[in-house]
Structure formats: structure tokens, C-alpha cells
């Protein structure tokens, strides 16, 4: 990892063998696993309750464990818990704390699960939350595009194809397109959630646990829609799930990259349809006349980076026989990096959109008569002239300077057209998704509370 050490290449030289191997196998886990602490605690508490439910652990022990894990999760949430490099990962860190606090009861929690299904559970709980966080931001950003589109619904903008002015468009049509794209991506996120919505616990090392565990009980405790039935599939889905989520992020990036490219072009002085607020531009250290759209460019680069993370995960997720192999540990870093990239990208655009300014004068000026050539030919065709003839007539008029289109005729009134943007439909799609996000979060929070507080039932 890129810790920027002055001499990263030297650290291993003088180390004793065991220490060198320890560092190689641990890798960045102590840092990466910080964000899993809470989820491993939650999954462990549910496992403790499931053991008690199956008569494999005293109810009082289960209650004590849930309470202790609740405290651990709370400390992790406040950033007060650090995984010690010697502890390797979040699992050992939590085990150490439990054993320290509860003695034997702490040690009893490991019955019937393996490290592998423990990490899969923690990751699944984490991804479930991270997906909802991403979806919430994406929905907000879709709303911001809709607001922008409504605000400038009727303001004309030249529609470009091939980087050439093509046909009359509007700021409303342009911005509404990004809202629509994000709405589609929100639905895609929802379907990735369905992949994640099955509980892996009980798979143990991939062949089940030789204990009478009630997998449906624990799945319900953790708010999953179902059990991920096959323990073999639990192991084999490692990588596939991460990739599905990161592919969804990269697809959001595909939507936003087009917006960012457009914005970078539209705020070129040569076009000038958009103006960036000063806070979003950067001066040059040597050119006094310049303000650069660094934020747009970095955000655009982040969209490519999201694709890069997806490519990385494709490499890491494939190429292995079934079952657990230690290579899979490497999946965590690109997953986390990808989510952080997405958060940063969405957050900065949420800040930008309300402040993005249009230059109405330049936009109107750019909508010259030429832009209406296709519409005029269509109008003539609609009046009866064969389209080929109409096209030729307009072309001749354009050449000899006599072209005068009937611009009043140009409003596209069909659904989605300049005169009938259908923003309320796009908004309705987003609203449905926001509702789903809200309900899901509420439900998961209720489950979580119940797990943390189930000491009650244990006493």
C-alpha cells in the first residue's frame, strides 16, 4: 500500500524471517479492517445468540457477549478502537477484547464458525451498509440534477453530437438526462442489494458446521431476506459480490463522467454556457490570467478510477478453484478504495450542483438558425414534401444564406422532448428508490438494536 514511506523498499531487509512473513501475510489488514470492526462485532453477537438458540451456549453468556460486542461496536463507531498490528485483523482484535472482558465466555464464541465465514459475514454486512450509503448519495445527486433541470427547464442550449452543434436542446433536457441515468443506476444498486441480502453464516470453512445451528434464525436476526443456502456457494461468492458492487459504482461513474466532460467543455471560454463558482476553480501558479476547473477534472478522473477498481477486482476475483484461498484477502483493499472514491465523487458533486451557474446569454447566442435545420426539414416533410427534398431545400438555403427556420414550431412535445421533459417521471423513480433506502435502513437498524439488546431475553 502507498503509505508514502521514505524507503518502503528497505523495511524488510533486516527483519528476522518470522517477522518478515508476518508482515507479508498481514499486509494492510490492521488498517483496512478498522471499518469492519463494527460489522464483525454485530455478526459475532448474532452468532452468540444463535449458539444460545441452539443450546450450545448459555443464554447468560450470549447476553454478556452481545452486550460486550455492542460496546466494542460503539467504540469503533467513535473511532476509539485501533487494531494493533500484532493482532493482524479485526477478528483477533475483537476476540482479544472479549476474552479480556469475559474470560471463558469470550472464548466460547468461536464454536461452529471459521475465520472464513466470519470475514465473509462482516464484509457482507459492511457492503450492505455501504451500498445503502452510496444509494442515498446517488439519490440525492439525482434530485440535485432534477432541481437544476427544473430551474433551467426552458433555457435553450445547443444539443451537441460529435462535438458539433446539432439540434435545439435545453439545460433541462441536458441535466434531466443525468438524473435519469442515476435513477437507472439506483435500480441496479437495488439489485446488487438482493445479491447481498442472504446470510452466509453457518458456511464455516465452506462445508457447513457439524452443529445443529439454525441458519434461518441468525439470518432473521441480522435482517437478511434469506439464508445463502449452499456453504460452497458462500465461499465461491467471495469476489463475485465485491465485483458486483464495484461494477455498480463504476456504472454510476459512467453517468457522471459524461456530465463532467460536458461541464468541462461548456465552461471553456470558447463555449461559455456554464460558469463554475470561484470556489470550484484553482488559480495557476505562473499564469495570472487563468482559473482552472481542477475539481471537475479530478472528479472526472475519479470516474476512470472507479473503472480501474472494477478492473482490479476482475483480476482478483477470478482465476482460482473453489473454496477459500488466501489470495482472496486482497479483495478488501480495492473494494474499500472504490467505495471511498465513490463517496468523494458523489459528495463533491452534491456540493457543486446547487452552485453551478448558467450563462443564459451565451447559451441563447449559440442557438443560431442553423441549429433548426433538421426541424425545418421535418416540418416541411410533415407538410407533405418528401423528406429528401426538404433536406435538399434546407441545405441550399443554408448555403445561400436564405435559411430562416420557423423556430416557434420547434418545441418537441412528445414525452421526453424539450417541451415535455417528463422530469416528474424521473423524480418518481428516484422517490421510489429513496423510499426503499429509508425503509431498508430503518429495518436494519431495528434488527441491530435487537441484537445489541438481546441480553434482555438472555436474562
The residues in 119-178 that bind a second copy, with binding defined as CB under 8 A, are: 130, 133, 159-169, 173-174, 176-178
Minimum Å distance from CB 454 to a second copy?
21
Q: Which of 101, 147, 282, 453 binds a second copy (CB under 8 A)?
A: 282
d(CA 325, CA 290) in angstroms, rounded, equals: 53
Residues 288-317 touching a second copy, rule: CB under 8 A, are 288-295, 297-305, 307-317
**365 belongs to the binding site for a second copy (CB under 8 A):** no
- Is there a contact between 310 and 247 (Cβ–Cβ < 8 Å)? yes
Burial of 335 (0-12, 13-18, 19+ CB in 10 A): buried
Pick the closest to residue 437 from 128, 122, 22, 36 (CA basis): 128
**Closest distance between a second copy and the C-beta of residue 104, in Å?**
7
Give the residue with the Cβ less far from a second copy, 118 or 456.
118
- Does position 206 bind a second copy by CB under 8 A? yes
Check residue 233 for interaction with a second copy (CB under 8 A): yes
- CA distances in angstroms from 298 to 234, 281, 304, 307, listed in the order given: 37, 11, 10, 14
| C-alpha cell belonging to residue 92 | 483477533
Selected from 49, 186, 250, 433, the binder of a second copy by CB under 8 A is 250
Closer residue to a second copy in complex, CB, 66/109: 109
Alpha carbons 131 and 196: distance in angstroms, whole number: 10
Among 31, 202, 11, which Cα is nearest to 113's? 202
CA-CA-CA-CA torsion sign (402, 407, 408, 410): positive
C-beta closer to a second copy: residue 45 or 421:
421
Q: For a second copy, which stretch binds (CB under 8 A), given 120-128, 179-187, 438-446, 447-455?
A: 179-187
What is the spatial distance between Cα 206 and Cα 124, in angstroms, rounded to a whole number?
Answer: 16
Do 371 and 161 touch, CB atoms closer than 8 A?
no
Tell me how far, at minimum, the Cβ of 437 lies from a second copy, in Å.
14
User: Per CB under 8 A, which of residues 89..118 are in contact with a second copy?
Assistant: 104, 107-108, 110-112, 114-116
Is residue 327 near a second copy by the rule CB under 8 A? yes
Closer to a second copy at the Cβ: 292 or 457? 292
Query: Please, which residue, 336 or 452, has the CB nearer to a second copy?
Result: 336
Contact 316, 244 (CB under 8 A): no
CB 195 within 8 A of CB 242: no
Return the residues of window 417-436 that contact a second copy according to CB under 8 A.
417-418, 421-422, 425-426
Shortest gap between Cβ of 446 and a second copy (angstroms)? 20
Query: In the complex with a second copy, which residue's Cβ is closer, 112 or 456?
Result: 112
Instruction: State which residue, 396 or 435, has the beta carbon closest to a second copy.
Output: 396
Kindly tell me which residue out of 46, 65, 337, 358 binds a second copy, with binding defined by CB under 8 A: 337
Does 60 sit near a second copy (CB under 8 A)? no
Q: Say how far apart CA 107 and CA 95 lie, in whole Å.
A: 7
* DSSP code per residue over 429-454: HHHHHHHHHHHHHHHHHHHHHHHHTT
Q: How would you classify residue 410: left for phi > 0, otherwise alpha for psi between -120 and 50, otherwise beta?
A: alpha
For a second copy, what does the binding mask look like between residues 380 and 419, x meaning CB under 8 A? -xx---xxx--xx-xx--x----------xxxxxxxxxx-
Q: How far is the CB of 40 from a second copy (least distance, A)?
A: 13
Least distance (Å) between residue 378 CB and a second copy: 5
Minimum CB separation of residue 456 from a second copy in Å reads 26
Of the candidate spans 119-127, 234-242, 440-448, 450-458, the one that interacts with a second copy by CB under 8 A turns out to be: 234-242
Cell matching residue 119: 470475514
Residues 13-52 that bind a second copy (CB under 8 A): 13, 17-18, 20-21, 24-25, 27-28, 31-35, 37-38
Q: Specify whether the CB–CB gap between 206 and 324 falls below 8 A.
A: yes
Are 317 and 243 in contact, with CB atoms under 8 Å apart? yes
Output Rg (C-alpha) for the chain, integer angstroms: 28
Amino acid at each position: 500500500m502507498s503509505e508514502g514511506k521514505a524507503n518502503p523498499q528497505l523495511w524488510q531487509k533486516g527483519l528476522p524471517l518470522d517477522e518478515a512473513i508476518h508482515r507479508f501475510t498481514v499486509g494492510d489488514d490492521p488498517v483496512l479492517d478498522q471499518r469492519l470492526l463494527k460489522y464483525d462485532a454485530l455478526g459475532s453477537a448474532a452468532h452468540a445468540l444463535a449458539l444460545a438458540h441452539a443450546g450450545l451456549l448459555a443464554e447468560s453468556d450470549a447476553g454478556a457477549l452481545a452486550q460486550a460486542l455492542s460496546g466494542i461496536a460503539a467504540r469503533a463507531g467513535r473511532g476509539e478502537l485501533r487494531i494493533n498490528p500484532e493482532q493482524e485483523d479485526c477478528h483477533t482484535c475483537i476476540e482479544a477484547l472479549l476474552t479480556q472482558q469475559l474470560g471463558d465466555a469470550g472464548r466460547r464464541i468461536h464454536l461452529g464458525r471459521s475465520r472464513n465465514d466470519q470475514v465473509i459475514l462482516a464484509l457482507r454486512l459492511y457492503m450492505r451498509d455501504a451500498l445503502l450509503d452510496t444509494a442515498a448519495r446517488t439519490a440525492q445527486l439525482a434530485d440535485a440534477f432534477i432541481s437544476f433541470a427544473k430551474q433551467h427547464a426552458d433555457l435553450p442550449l445547443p444539443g451537441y453530437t460529435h462535438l458539433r452543434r446539432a439540434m435545439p436542446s435545453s439545460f433541462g433536457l441536458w441535466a434531466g438526462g443525468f438524473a435519469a441515468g442515476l435513477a437507472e443506476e439506483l435500480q441496479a444498486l437495488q439489485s446488487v442489494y438482493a445479491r447481498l441480502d442472504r446470510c452466509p453464516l453457518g458456511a464455516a470453512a465452506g462445508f457447513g458446521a457439524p452443529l445443529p445451528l439454525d441458519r434461518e434464525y441468525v439470518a432473521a436476526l441480522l435482517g437478511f431476506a434469506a439464508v445463502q443456502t449452499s456453504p460452497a456457494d458462500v465461499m465461491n461468492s467471495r469476489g463475485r459480490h465485491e465485483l458486483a458492487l464495484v461494477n455498480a459504482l463504476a456504472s454510476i461513474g459512467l453517468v457522471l463522467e459524461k456530465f463532467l466532460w460536458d461541464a468541462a467543455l461548456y465552461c471553456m471560454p470558447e463555449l461559455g454556457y456554464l460558469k463554475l463558482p470561484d470556489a470550484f476553480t484553482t488559480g495557476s501558479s505562473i499564469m495570472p490570467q487563468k482559473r482552472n476547473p481542477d475539481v471537475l477534472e479530478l472528479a472526472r478522473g475519479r470516474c476512470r478510477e472507479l473503472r480501474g477498481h472494477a478492473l482490479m477486482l476482475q483480476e482478483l476475483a477470478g482465476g482460482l478453484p473453489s473454496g477459500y484461498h488466501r489470495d482472496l484477502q486482497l479483495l478488501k483493499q480495492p473494494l474499500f478504495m472504490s467505495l471511498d472514491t465513490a463517496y468523494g465523487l458523489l459528495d463533491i458533486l452534491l456540493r457543486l450542483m446547487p452552485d453551478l451557474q448558467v450563462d443564459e446569454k451565451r447559451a441563447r447566442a449559440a442557438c443560431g438558425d442553423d441549429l433548426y435545420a433538421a426541424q425545418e426539414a421535418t416540418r416541411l416533410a410533415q407538410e407533405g414534401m418528401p423528406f429528401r427534398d426538404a433536406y435538399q431545400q434546407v441545405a441550399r438555403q443554408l448555403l445561400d444564406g436564405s435559411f430562416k427556420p420557423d423556430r416557434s414550431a420547434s418545441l418537441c412535445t412528445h414525452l421526453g422532448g424539450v417541451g415535455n421533459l417528463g422530469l416528474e417521471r424521473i423524480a418518481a423513480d428516484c422517490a421510489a428508490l429513496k423510499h426503499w433506502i429509508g425503509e431498508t435502513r430503518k429495518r436494519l437498524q431495528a434488527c441491530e438494536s435487537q441484537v445489541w439488546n438481546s441480553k434482555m431475553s438472555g436474562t
